[in-house]
Amino acid sequence: MSLTTDDVKKVARLARLAMSEQEILSAQAQLNNIFDLIAEMQAVDTTGITPMSHAQDVVQRLRADVVTESDQRELFQSIAPQVEAGLYLVPQVIE
Amino acid sequence: MTWEIVIGLEVHTQLSTNTKIFSGASTAFGAEPNTQADAVSLALPGVLPVLNCGAVERAIKFGLATGAHIAPRSVFARKNYFYPDLPKGYQISQMDLPVVGQGALTIQVEPLSGNAKPYEKVVRITRAHLEEDAGKSVHGSSQGVTGIDLNRAGTPLLEIVSEPDMRSAAEAIAYAKALHTLVKWIGICDGNMQEGSFRCDVNVSVRKPGQPFGTRREIKNLNSFKFMQQAIDYEVQWQIDTIENGGKVQQATVLFNPDTGETRSMRSKEDAHDYRYFPDPDLLPLEISEAWKAEVRATMPELPQAKQHRYVNELGLSAYDASLLTSSREMADFFEAALSAVPSQAKICANWLIGEVSAQLNRDGLDMAQCPITAQQLGGMLLRIADGTISNSGAKEVFRTLWAEGGEADAIIEAKGLKQVSDSGAIEALVDEIIAANADKVAEYRSGKDKLFGFFVGLAMKASKGKANPAQLNEILKQKLAG
């Protein structure tokens, strides 16, 4: 599989990345290199092998359901660009 | 040829944990904005999610309650999209390996129209997966800006996805209600729909019977059963009209507007469904051992459906009564406690609960947990109905008093003189007097005017001040009048 420049533009848009035509071309080449590597790996016969979902072969540790966090709103909001009545303000979002 | 409606549901249930799914921040409802938004909820750089044991345990309970496969190993994935109430830019969810696999829920469907009888149906559950909730956007506080409250961000959700097995709005509602009852019953969700603890997305399509599924539209975020019904009815009609007028239904997400009763397509967001899921490298696979499952199983209460079967098979109640009595755990517990006073009178006990008790709760705007009379008080009264001490009308009087003033059935019966006369000698004497005083009417009755029987019953009841045992009175009256 190989990506077209339109594919790259779509991926960039989904990731909210603004890219110049030049950057798109270089990203296309890089991404296609990655796809070549994936193609190589996909050629390996993995029948009967459980896919890994994580590089480390260990399992998730769990946390007890106990409140450990306290209210630090003032501290967190001191670095926010804009707050009002306890809310973080962002440019208007219209559904 | 009529249209067939096809419905599937996705239900987001907020799990009743103390803390968020990936951090130790509180999930209490109604806190001041952002006071429960910790560094993880805010997605500050460098934070890592740590999975909440309580959320997993609740998912296991749900799996056990629906006879589902519980995955020995499941995986969390990132669902990527941009929205200000999702500061990480992705929601942690599960995709390929959800914690709960295929299960099923048996529902009692009460058709909404006509004389159709209630029936039972099994709805298959495709899967249920753990994920985090997003924050809340507050619009309109100031011009040109949106306020963000991240208290809800990271609240654990179990998203329960059904197969498209429902064929009417009535079935969809019955399923949603059964699911709502179940999650409260097993204590994994408080079920508070107004606070958004139980939110339904309904996928609706129509087709000619026997044809492949039609194109579906998804009605988002319904938080009441009434709205669900209205939304489905409107949506179905809209789809049928569209197709019959030569149009085509386009796959879309729609919102229901309760004010107009209409569904409206959300502005279709380009790429909206391109979430680019991938396994979250911050989280390791979740393993659930047989031992853990067994431990959770040991804490499970008897489930509504098992109770229903027991009520029908052992107590001789109808399936309909059994389903009403198991509409909540409080109701079932109340029924069983009251029944222990009159173990052989399940039907009377059921009738009082489904009838007077429920009606009175309704009138007073209370739910079962707030019922002013206890199961023991009701049981004491049922005992006196069962042994013939009080008539039905006497019982109603006792019930009114118990409800308004409290007390104990026997004392009320005594104080109000409600004990019915079951002494046949006394009733006979009374009937003899009436016959003697109404010779002309007796003659009319004997010459074939059967309707007069009611007249004599009325007189006799009045003479006994309403206390005569009605069955006994009827019998004696019939005998004496026959001459």
Residue B103, pLDDT score: 97
Determine which of A72, A87, A95 to mutate to test the interface with B (most B C-beta atoms within 10 Å).
A87
Contacts with A, B 430-469, CB within 8 Å:
none
Following CA atoms B51, B57, B63, B69 in sequence, which dihedral angle do they give, to the nearest 10 degrees?
A: 60
Q: What is the pLDDT of residues B128-155, one digit of tens each?
A: 999 999 999 998 777 889 999 999 999 9
Q: What is the count of residue pairs from A and B with beta carbons less than 8 Å apart? A: 131
Please identify, among B362, B397, B416, the residue that sits at the C-terminal boundary of a domain.
B416
What is the tally of structural domains in chain B? 3
Q: Note whether B216 and B317 are same-domain residues.
A: no
Q: Note whether B433 and B474 are same-domain residues.
A: yes
| B431 confidence band (pLDDT: 50, 70, 90) | confident
Verify whether the Cβ–Cβ distance A88 to B97 is below 8 Å: no
Average pLDDT score, chain B = 92
User: Who has greater pLDDT, B55 or B369?
Assistant: B55
Q: What is the pLDDT of residues B275-310, one digit of tens each?
A: 999 999 999 999 999 999 999 999 999 999 999 999
* pLDDT (mean) for B75-102: 95
How far apart CA B267 and CA B403 sit, in angstroms, is: 53
Q: Note whether B379 and B434 are same-domain residues.
A: no
Share of chain B above pLDDT 90, in %: 73
| B113 confidence band (pLDDT: 50, 70, 90) | confident
CATH class name, domain A5-42: mainly alpha
Residue B443, pLDDT score: 87
Distances (CA, A) of B113 to A56, B195, B355, B438: 58, 31, 22, 50
State the amino acid at position B92 in one-letter form. I
* pLDDT (mean) for B39-65: 97
Domain residues for the domain of B169 are 4-292
Verify whether the Cβ–Cβ distance B37 to A76 is below 8 Å: yes
Please identify, among B362, B391, B416, the residue that sits at the C-terminal boundary of a domain.
B416
Verify whether the Cβ–Cβ distance B24 to A95 is below 8 Å: no
| B467 confidence band (pLDDT: 50, 70, 90) | confident
Q: Note whether B120 and B36 are same-domain residues.
A: yes
Residue B142, pLDDT score: 77
Q: Per-domain residue ranges for chain A?
A: 5-42
Q: Note whether B185 and B319 are same-domain residues.
A: no
pLDDT at B437 over 90: no
Residue B11, pLDDT score: 98
Q: What is the pLDDT of residues B163-216, one digit of tens each?
A: 999 999 999 999 999 999 999 999 999 999 999 999 999 999 999 999 999 999
Q: What is the pLDDT of residues B16-34, one digit of tens each?
A: 999 999 999 999 999 999 9
pLDDT at B271 over 60: no
Q: Is the dihedral of CA B380, B382, B384, B387 positive or negative?
A: negative
